[in-house]
Amino acid sequence: MSILDKCKNFRDAEAVKKAGLYPYFREIDSEQDTWVTLEGGKRVLMLGSNSYMGLTNHPEVIEAAVEATRKLGTGCAGSRFLNGTLKIHRELEEKLAEFMGTESALVFSTGFQTNIGTISALVGRNDFVITDKFDHASIYDGARLSFGKAVRFEHNDMADLEAKLAQIPEGRGKLIVVDGIFSMEGDIAKLPEICELAEKFGAEVFVDDAHAIGVLGPNGEGTAAHFGLGDKVTMTMGTFSKSLASLGGFLAAGRETIEFLKHKSRALIFSASPSPANVSAAMAALEIIKREPERRERLWENTRFMLESFSAMGFDTGSAETPIVPLHVGDMQTAFMMSKMLEDRGVFVNPVVPPATPPGDCLIRVSFMATHTREDLAHAIEIFRAVGTELNII
C-alpha cells in the first residue's frame, strides 16, 4: 500500500467538474475590485471578496508596496527571529498596538500562522483550549498542535460554554478562543457573556478578528472595541489579507505575552518574515482606515440594505448581522447550481458545502465592500431574485 493511493483514488470533485459546476480555483485576471474579470474576459460583480474596505487597489496602498520593494527588495531572506526583521516590521507593530489599544503587537507571515503559532505556544500539556464549534480551521489546527486538551462548545451557546468550563479541573490553564465575526455565518461572538464566564472560571480570552478589523468598533479596532471590552480580552489576532489589503497577520496583546511568543512560537521562529511590500501595504491601509471612517459607514449601509433586500425576497440569511451574509440553500447540488447560475449572469459568490457546513445546510456566502455602489447592489438583487426563484429557493 502506498501513501499516495489516496491521491490516485481521489474522486470528490470529479462529478461536479463533469457537470460543469465546479466552483473552486476560478482564475481572476484583474485587480481585486468591486468588479473583476475572470479568465476569458468575463466581467462579474465581486460579491465574494474579504476586502471589506475596498483597499486592495487603492493608489496609496499600491505605491507603498512599490516604494518598499524599491528600497528594501522583494523579500527578507530569513525569519523574524534571525535576519528577517526589518525596521518597518517594528514600525507596523507599534502602529497596530496603538490602534488596538494594547501594550504590544507581533507580526506573523499569515493570519493562519498567527493562530497556529499563538495557540500552540500558549496552551501547554496541562492546559485547556476551549473553542466555538464554528471557529476557523486555523484555530482548530493550533489547538491540535498544542500539547493541551481541546474542548468544543456549541456555536454561540453560552450555557454549553459554561458547562464545558465547569468540567475543567480547578487550577488548569484555560484559553477560550472565538471568532469575533464568524466567517461563514456572519454573526458576532457573544463576547460580553464570554468574558463574564472567563472571569468566573479563571480563563483567558483570545479573539480571532480576521473579519472584524476595520469592520467592527468605533474606529475599526474589532470586536472587543465594539462591545467596550478591551480590558477583558487577553489577546486579539488580525489578518492583513482582508480589510488591510495585503498578506500577513498579527497578534495584539500584553508586552509579556508578546515577548514570550517571540521566543516560543514555532510558526514565527521557523517561517520567513513578511515581505517589505506586504508590510508597507498593510501600514498604508491602516492609515486610510483611521482617517476615512466613511468607508466603514458605507460598508454598513451596504450591509443593512442587502440584509433587508434578501429578507424581503424570502432568502434565509440565518443569524447574519455583518457584511458576511450566508444564503441557506439546502443541498450541495443546489449550492453549486446557484453559484454557477449567478456567475453566468455576472455575479461572483462562494458556495460553502460540507464539511464546512452541516449536511443539507449548504450556503451561498455573499460579502460586501465599502466600495460597492447602490447601483452595483441593485443590479445584484435582481439577479439573486431571478436565480432564487428559478431554483425554488424563494
pLDDT in tens, 156-175: 999 999 999 999 999 999 99
Instruction: Indicate whether 329 belongs to any domain.
Output: yes
CATH code for the domain of 354: 3.90.1150.10
Q: What is the pLDDT of residues 248-307, one digit of tens each?
A: 999 999 999 999 999 999 999 999 999 999 999 999 999 999 999 999 999 999 999 999
| 48 plus 63 within the same structural domain | no
- The list of the chain residues with pLDDT below 70 reads none
| 229 plus 180 within the same structural domain | yes
CATH code for the domain of 78: 3.40.640.10
Q: If DSSP codes are grouped into helix, strand and coil, which group holds residue 239? A: strand
| 75 plus 222 within the same structural domain | yes
| 125 plus 244 within the same structural domain | yes
- How many domains are there within the chain? 2
List the grid coordinates of 342: 449567478
The set of residues, in sequence order, having a beta carbon less than 8 Å from that of 17 and lying 6+ positions away, is: none
Which of 89, 211, 340, 372 is an active site residue? 211
Query: What pLDDT is stored for residue 67 in this prediction?
Result: 98
Strands of the sheet containing 362-367, edge to edge, are 324-330, 362-367, 350-352
Question: End of a domain among 240, 269, 291?
Answer: 291
Buried b (16+ CB within 10 A) or exposed e, 330-341: bebebbbbbbbb
| 242 plus 98 within the same structural domain | yes
| 188 plus 282 within the same structural domain | yes
Query: What pLDDT is stored for residue 356 in this prediction?
Result: 86
Instruction: Indicate whether 3 belongs to any domain.
Output: no
Instruction: Indicate whether 219 belongs to any domain.
Output: yes
Instruction: Indicate whether 170 belongs to any domain.
Output: yes
Cβ count within 10 A of residue 383: 17
Instruction: Indicate whether 1 belongs to any domain.
Output: no
Question: End of a domain among 242, 272, 291?
Answer: 291
| 127 plus 27 within the same structural domain | no
Query: What pLDDT is stored for residue 242 in this prediction?
Result: 98
| 251 plus 269 within the same structural domain | yes
**242 part of the active site:** yes
Question: What residues are paired with 391 via a beta bridge?
Answer: none
Candidates 336, 350, 386; CA nearest to 20 is 336
Query: What pLDDT is stored for residue 199 in this prediction?
Result: 98
| 28 plus 174 within the same structural domain | no
Question: End of a domain among 291, 317, 341?
Answer: 291
Q: Which domain holds residue 311?
A: 11-57+293-390
| 203 plus 142 within the same structural domain | yes
| 145 plus 240 within the same structural domain | yes
User: Residue 270 class from Cβ within 10 Å (0-12 exposed, 13-18 middle, 19+ buried)?
Assistant: exposed
| 304 plus 193 within the same structural domain | no
CA–CA distances in Å: residue 66 to residues 30, 33, 90, 281: 18, 19, 19, 9
Which of 58, 89, 226, 242 is an active site residue? 242
**183 part of the active site:** yes
Q: What is the pTM of this model?
A: 0.96
Which of 104, 109, 146, 183 is an active site residue? 183
State the Cα–Cα distance between residues 148 and 166, nearest whole angstrom.
17
State the Cα–Cα distance between residues 1 and 109, nearest whole angstrom.
37
**136 part of the active site:** no
Instruction: Indicate whether 94 belongs to any domain.
Output: yes
Instruction: Indicate whether 300 belongs to any domain.
Output: yes
